[in-house]
Structure 1
Amino acid sequence: MRAVWCGFALGVIVLQRLAKLPGWGAWLGLLLCVSLALTWAVWAWRGHDSARGWQAARHAGAWLAIWIAAVCIGLGYAAWRAELRLAQTLPASWQKRDVEVSGHIARMISQDRGAASFLFSVESWRIPASQSQALPDLIQLSWVARDVPLPPLVPGARWRLDVRLKRPHAQGNFGLRDAEATLLSRGVRATGYVSDERRAKRLLPDARSLSVQIERSRAVVRARIDAALADAPHRGIVVALATGAQDAVSDDDWRRLRNTGTSHLVAISGLHLAFVAGLAGWIAGALWRRARWRGIEAPLIVPAQQVAVAGAVVAAAAYAALAGFNVPVQRALWMLTVTAIALWRSREVSRSHVLAWALGLVLLRDPWAVTAPGFWLSFGAVGAILFAASGVPRVRREDDAALSPDELDPMREHDAAPPRVGCLRVFSSRISARWRAFIRRFAGRLADSARVQWAVTLALAPLSAYWFMQIPLIGPLANAGAIPWVSMFVTPMVLAGVALPAPFDAFAWQSAHAMLSWLIDALGMLEGWPWALLRLPQPGVFALCCAGVGVAWLLAPRGWPLRWLAPFTWLPLLVPSAHGPPPGAFRLTALDIGQGTSVLVETSRHTLLFDAGPGPESTHAGERIVAPYLQTHGVMRLDTLMISHDDSDHSGGAPAVLDAVPVGAFVAGILPAHPLWASARTRGAQTVQCAAGQRWQWDGVAFEVLWPDPGPLTGKPNAHCCVLRVATAQGGVGAVSALLAADIEAGTERTLVARDAAGLRSQVLVVPHHGSRTSSTEPFLDSVWPLVAIFQVGYLNRFHHPHPGVYARYASRHIVLARSDADGAVRIEAAPGTLSVERFRDTQRRYWMDTASE
């Protein structure tokens, strides 16, 4: 079954990498492939041949055919599930419109005093009679209190709401996670917000399904924790350990946990579930051994071991439900269930078979789990532990067999001694033997723990580099103390609070919070060590494969040849190749950050970021997208951060960027009193106000600021935006240039044209003011005359950018157009005489990505 489930998983993974779902021809090909493979497998297994070598070859071919059939079945199953889910689609004409829906709250995602986000299970739509399209059953809504206070929102509550929806859409950027896959995994086929809270009406009765009851129990536990801990700084970790909800964990806690490699402690993992299952099994077995029925001891009816196993599974399932059935919990629950079934049937099952069954069952339930890092980290950690532990029991038995008879039985040495002296010697020998046995057991367990920690750290390092662009070097030391502390003290205290009534629950949670405070303080000290964290660009497939081979090589059983060569396989991961363009060329990446601007310009050895997108006042794009993008692509230092002006969709993300990477120079068109100046100086950046006439060269690429004029900034922010021109060779033959125009408007465009129309000529134009009708005048476009125009706009944004007339103005000039709401991020490779354009949704397209932009 290991080969079957691994092949099934490979098929599921392949499907999630496809740009479109299989058509009828592909379905027929899959069916034919499965039929031929199974036919060959049956023939090979039933065939008989006298030659032993030929028979072994036939059996190997049969297993290969079964594996190929499993791959095809996995791909077909994932495609079938995707077809069913994608069939529920919000009509494009319903976007931007108010729609009335009735249903119940399925799950609370986050909630505070003035806003809430939740999953809403739709029971009925108020739709035209002619509508025959299958509509979404589950939508994700946000409810912001504006005119009236936010009402109590609990899972199961039925409401009739006026909502404004759109199809699932997420920003698409090279190397970053796709949130559309997360929505698809949840079954969400539309997102939106409550458009008129005054017309919202609570309906009766409440929904009473099992899933609703589970979610309501989770909400009750969270409310109790909130009441007990109020505004305690680490309350979010307590909530996460109790219910699996991680939205309340503070940014500071996340940073410390990530940088020390202990972020897995916040998730309810298999270790926590195993603790609950073990405790429940022990209690169930102990009670059953003491139970009697009609004078007959209960273990004579059903063995206490089976009752203990059943109690462990029931408790684990209850805890998994409380945790929200995340992937690590599902994996642990399925492994426990498979093991329990084997024990009930008095059969032995290998650990690798248990892990394979868990892998298949997780993907049967959720084929999109492979798109989440938790899937790879969870199965990778357990697989590494099992691989590293192979052969350990045999070695330990050999060590035990090497003990001398006198060590095993201290009585043998003193059989002939006088009675009094012999008793003293026997007593002292027994004590010393017990101490020696205790020390050996303790040393053995310590060695096992170190071996497990070594295996997990080594195995997860490449995955951490891929998903999080960092390897916490301090991780083994931090986990050596944090894992037992959280597992033995914090988690039991949190669970005790869940089980205990008031006011004892508050005491338990406050105790858990105090212990967490000590842990977080200790992690903060470890985080401050200069070598604690190694930041890396996101590795490619080749580097990951090499590192994976090195992990297996190092964790192989003793005696594996040439183990000293294994560390060299990590060199492609630890020493990545140069990622910048060649000298004399530049790369321009217009990020997809929604409504706003952020453009990264890279030369051979330098980088400049033009604007940083929205900040906390809007979509947190600077923190969610811009800073992670820099880290993903190995930008460990910005030579220049240029903030064009003080509009939140351009400058809001600057603090997140300043926190994430060192900045050499901070150049901006913002007023002298703006706090960004002080923030940049505090971080060691040189600060300069941008002004026309500023010029510099990097690696054969010329940079020139065209606007604003030197002197004090006056007027509204759009009137003194920084305008930057980048050229491969100033004035040279075949030069390629790009113009970053920020939010300049018609007046500034006229001034620039009148001053030097020829100096505006650029092959690439980041469209002024997101395509607003107040910009992109005819004379300006005639002067720039771009070959490529990039619109950085949000999906269905409330400003209706780009304006249809302006967009038509660009299209009439036969310019290559790219817009972030439809194409995602756009990457321009510019070199003298050459220009290439890459759109994210063209080269990185997946079948779930929606193409509608209007």
Structure 2
Amino acid sequence: MLTQGMGLLIGLLSLWFIPHAQFALILLLVSLGILLCRKWFKFSCLFNWVNWGIIWACLNILVWANTTKSLITDAATVEVEGMICSIPYRQAERILFDFCVSYINGQEVGWLSQRKFQASWWHVEDALVSEKSAIHAGETWVLYGRIKPARGRVNPAGFDRERWLLANHYLGQLSVKRWTGFRDLSSISSLYHQMRQSVYEKVRFVLKDSEFQGVILAILMGERQHFSNQQQDVFQRSGTAHLLAISGLHIGIAALWVYWGFLFICKRTAKFCLLIPACRAAEIGALCGALFLLLLSGMAIPACRATLMLSVVFVSRWFGSYLPIANVLSLVMLITLIIFPFSILLASFWLSFGTVSMIALVLNKPSYFREKLVLWFRINWFLFLMLIPVSWVIFGYVSWVAFAVNLLLIPVYSFVITPLIYLAGILAFIEINMAKWLFDWISELIGIGFIIQSKSVEYNQLIPEVSFNPLSLLYVGSLLTISLLPYKLLNLKLKILFLIGFLLSMPFQQKRPYDFQMWVFDIGQGLAVYIETPDGNLIFDTGWGNKQFNLAKTTIIPFLQNNKIRQVDKLIVSHDDSDHSGGVSELLSQVNITQVLSGESILFSHADNCHRATSWQWGRVEFEFLSTDNVLWKSGNNASCVLSVKVGQQHILLTGDIEKQSEAYLIQQGLKPHDFLLAPHHGSLTSSSRQFVNHVRPKYVIFSTGYDNRWKFPKTEVVERYRLIGSEIYNTADDGAVWLYAKPDEQINIASFRRLYPQFWR
């Protein structure tokens, strides 16, 4: 079983690397290879299962491409009928929910197609003209809105939304314009979602005064939208975010407590024990408890995996077969990969199976210590070691206090807080005052734990920062692996040699081979640019944002963390529009910035005016602000900073949102032609005049726009002006982040991330 599971897993890894439009060819070649090789060669079981894994990957891509992907090829305004299949929640001025469609423009969605949309509804109170006062899960509605394919921003670091949407079975995204009808339909699915909605509303009502409402709802139902930013940050940085995810830990807790309860009752009921053994009844009850929590949590994929694992263990026992943990894991992996092949694209898949495998290895490792406390210490220690490279690669930091905090809080949450939350959730439907009293006590306990977590985060910041490179991360993984192998295979001397190698690898950092790099981030409708040289770096604009949310947090900050950049020499804010300055406060709070320059002097009291700033040079890269007419740059788009960057003999022009008046003034002041141009005002008709385009004559022009933006930028007429002079066009909405780079004494090269990484889901 282990061979089959590992073979299928290795084969399905091809999902990470198959380029778009080549899966059919790969499927054909692998299938022909298997048929030909079977005739003349006898291959191992592992090799055969690897091939079947590749075939299964390609078949799933083929089905998805010809059903789900082909159903929505571009954004369109349509009428959709379907069911609200998640609990709606409010975020600022909009309502977010999942909408499972049955019909699009009257045409039924095929059974092989994914049906779920990520829906958003702005200003819902003004738009909803019906007798209904709220949106509830399980209701069947007819909505009019704009649908888009499953699409996200593609950047050198941060969250890959397109991959996440695919792995979680989303058809696309829906922006609701208005409600057009209500269908009074009833089904098992609608009743299920209505049940979740009623539980959610009842518990929220009881918890309305609780500071930790979000934590309790996350543990009870998997609803994580009520966290404050501070709570979310503390749980992540203390290494305890897993306490809130309904997966193996919570499914196991529910099953364990139900098992103990049934066992206690059954052993004291003689007549019942004559019908079925007490242990068997307790196992059936435990499985039912796990299934109930699975349904309550919305049947998330991690919870499905944990419940499946528990089911395999119990069912094998009922048939008299006690499977080793390796076989249980392999069988669960096989079933998961067959039912949810795209789940391999999620980090939770690897964390889930990696954690369980690590615990199994620790439990099976020969040891002279059998005390439970010592075993608990060892399990947490090895999990902490496993998460060091994972946390560093994904988040760019390591929570060094996670070991101590988890050692203390996991038992508290497992045996006190989580069971009490389940009990209080049941009491909410029986005796609301008692439930409120119990939830108050639970909030107090969570509050005490939160104080410990907050203090641990403060202590973590006091620990000197350790920087890992790929070699040192490889040594961490190797040390972890050899530590779990039997003692006879590796002696102490070899382990010491690995440890010395790891310590020696720490000081070595990967040298960056470029003396100039520039990233135009895929920031949606807005602008954000990062420029780096060996002697300094700068950020030009920060993307869209407001008080509730900003794109700098999801795009620029992850990029800086991933590249271990903690110092920015200059932050340039072209002007005060929210799609250019929305992330300034986030950057100022997260990054050490030496100087801030702004096109509108009223924007920041401590910012310097870029129109009066002097030129400077970092290495062979020269920077110069081109001042526009002082009447125009008082405020508005024409106040934008215009930055010219010279790399060797090539020039790059960053223009912000300047319009035709400023363009004409720059030409009068002797503006030179530039090889690379960041198109003014995202390709608006108010900019990129024929005179400006013909004068600058860029070889490459970059538009920073959002996919299907409401202004339809860049305008077709503007794009054609650049095409007529032979410019090569890049648009972040179509190409993802655009990367300009140059090695010492070489010309600037240009690339885009959608072209560099053409995975099939793009």
CA distance in 2, matches of 1:514, 1:128: 53
Deviations 1:523-558 (A, max 9, x none): 112211254678788966x66544422321233344
Tell me which amino acid in the other structure corresponds to 2:641: C
Cα offset, 1:19, TM superposition: 1.1
Tell me which amino acid in the other structure corresponds to 2:195: S
CA distance in 1, matches of 2:751, 2:656: 21
Match of 1:19 in 2: 19
Cα offset, 1:744, TM superposition: 0.7
Is 1:176 matched with 2:158?
yes
Match of 2:368 in 1: 395
Cα offset, 1:467, TM superposition: 1.4
Q: Structure 1 residue aligned with 2:134, among 123, 131, 152?
A: 152
Match of 2:424 in 1: 497
Tell me which amino acid in the other structure corresponds to 1:597: L
Q: Structure 2 residue aligned with 1:563, among 491, 495, 511?
A: 495
Cα offset, 1:595, TM superposition: 0.3
Q: More deviation in 27-36 or 782-791?
A: 27-36
Match of 2:222 in 1: 244
Q: Relative to structure 1, is the Cα distance of residues 489 and 134 closer, same or farther in structure 2, using a 3 angstrom cutoff?
A: closer
Match of 1:122 in 2: 101
Deviations 1:491-523 (A, max 9, x none): 112111221122322222222222212222221
**RMSD of aligned Cα (Å):** 2.9
Q: Equivalent residues in 2 for 1:4-403 (5 A)?
A: 4-20=4-20, 22-35=22-35, 65-89=44-68, 97-108=76-87, 110-111=89-90, 115-127=94-106, 137-144=115-122, 145=124, 147-148=126-127, 151-197=133-179, 200-205=180-185, 207-209=186-188, 211-230=189-208, 232-292=210-270, 297-392=271-366, 395-396=368-369
Deviations 1:362-421 (A, max 9, x none): 2222222222222222222222222233234x6358xxxxxxxxxxxxxxxxxxxxxxxx
Pick the structure with greater CA Rg: 1
The question of whether the paired residues in 1 share the 8 Å contact of 2:678 and 2:702 is answered with yes
CA distance in 2, matches of 1:820, 1:308: 57
Runs (5+) with no aligned partner, structure 2: none
Tell me which amino acid in the other structure corresponds to 2:748: L
Is 1:740 matched with 2:669?
no
CA distance in 2, matches of 1:250, 1:161: 31
Deviations 1:36-57 (A, max 9, x none): 677789x7xxxxxxxxxxxxxx
Deviations 1:48-70 (A, max 9, x none): xxxxxxxxxxxxxx6xx211111
The question of whether the paired residues in 1 share the 8 Å contact of 2:417 and 2:445 is answered with yes
CA distance in 1, matches of 2:532, 2:425: 52
The question of whether the paired residues in 1 share the 8 Å contact of 2:469 and 2:510 is answered with no
The question of whether the paired residues in 2 share the 8 Å contact of 1:97 and 1:164 is answered with yes
Cα offset, 1:279, TM superposition: 1.4
Is 1:592 matched with 2:592?
no
Match of 1:732 in 2: none
Match of 2:609 in 1: 689
CA distance in 2, matches of 1:312, 1:77: 34
CA distance in 2, matches of 1:572, 1:184: 41
CA distance in 2, matches of 1:39, 1:109: 57
Deviations 1:712-753 (A, max 9, x none): 995432121111112124xxxxx2221111111111111111
Match of 2:440 in 1: 510
Is 1:466 matched with 2:445?
no
SS in 2 for 1:307: helix
Q: Structure 2 residue aligned with 1:772, among 673, 684, 688?
A: 684
Cα offset, 1:339, TM superposition: 1.4
Cα offset, 1:616, TM superposition: 3.1
CA distance in 2, matches of 1:232, 1:650: 37
- Give the TM-score normalised by the residue count of structure 2: 0.92
CA distance in 2, matches of 1:845, 1:230: 47
Q: More deviation in 65-74 or 89-98?
A: 89-98
Tell me which amino acid in the other structure corresponds to 1:141: A
SS in 2 for 1:488: helix
Cα offset, 1:87, TM superposition: 2.5
SS in 2 for 1:315: helix
Tell me which amino acid in the other structure corresponds to 2:721: R
- Give the TM-score normalised by the residue count of structure 1: 0.82
Q: More deviation in 303-312 or 449-458?
A: 303-312
The question of whether the paired residues in 2 share the 8 Å contact of 1:465 and 1:536 is answered with no
Q: Structure 1 residue aligned with 2:671, among 752, 757, 762?
A: 757
Cα offset, 1:708, TM superposition: 4.9
The question of whether the paired residues in 2 share the 8 Å contact of 1:139 and 1:188 is answered with yes
Q: Relative to structure 1, is the Cα distance of residues 139 and 391 closer, same or farther in structure 2, using a 3 angstrom cutoff?
A: closer
Tell me which amino acid in the other structure corresponds to 2:524: G
Deviations 1:65-94 (A, max 9, x none): 211111122222232223323333577998
CA distance in 2, matches of 1:286, 1:93: 55
Cα offset, 1:147, TM superposition: 2.2
SS in 2 for 1:160: strand
Tell me which amino acid in the other structure corresponds to 1:120: F
CA distance in 2, matches of 1:175, 1:569: 29
Q: Percent same amino acid at aligned positions? A: 26
Runs (5+) with no aligned partner, structure 1: 44-61, 398-443, 679-686, 730-734, 850-854
Is 1:2 matched with 2:11?
no
Q: Relative to structure 1, is the Cα distance of residues 282 and 530 closer, same or farther in structure 2, using a 3 angstrom cutoff?
A: closer
Match of 1:647 in 2: 577
Cα offset, 1:353, TM superposition: 1.6
Deviations 1:415-441 (A, max 9, x none): xxxxxxxxxxxxxxxxxxxxxxxxxxx
Is 1:446 matched with 2:373?
yes
Cα offset, 1:127, TM superposition: 4.8
CA distance in 1, matches of 2:748, 2:401: 44
SS in 1 for 2:555: helix
Q: Relative to structure 1, is the Cα distance of residues 651 and 751 closer, same or farther in structure 2, using a 3 angstrom cutoff?
A: same
Q: Relative to structure 1, is the Cα distance of residues 241 and 136 closer, same or farther in structure 2, using a 3 angstrom cutoff?
A: closer
Q: Relative to structure 1, is the Cα distance of residues 10 and 216 closer, same or farther in structure 2, using a 3 angstrom cutoff?
A: farther
Q: Relative to structure 1, is the Cα distance of residues 38 and 601 closer, same or farther in structure 2, using a 3 angstrom cutoff?
A: same
CA distance in 2, matches of 1:231, 1:716: 45
Cα offset, 1:652, TM superposition: 0.3
CA distance in 2, matches of 1:589, 1:352: 45
CA distance in 2, matches of 1:116, 1:447: 48
CA distance in 1, matches of 2:598, 2:244: 39
Q: Relative to structure 1, is the Cα distance of residues 113 and 452 closer, same or farther in structure 2, using a 3 angstrom cutoff?
A: same
CA distance in 1, matches of 2:40, 2:219: 50
The question of whether the paired residues in 1 share the 8 Å contact of 2:629 and 2:662 is answered with no
Deviations 1:131-177 (A, max 9, x none): 99997633222122152458422222011111211222100112333
SS in 1 for 2:86: strand
Aligned residues: 751
CA distance in 2, matches of 1:109, 1:551: 43
Cα offset, 1:347, TM superposition: 2.3
CA distance in 1, matches of 2:535, 2:746: 21
Q: More deviation in 81-90 or 171-180?
A: 81-90
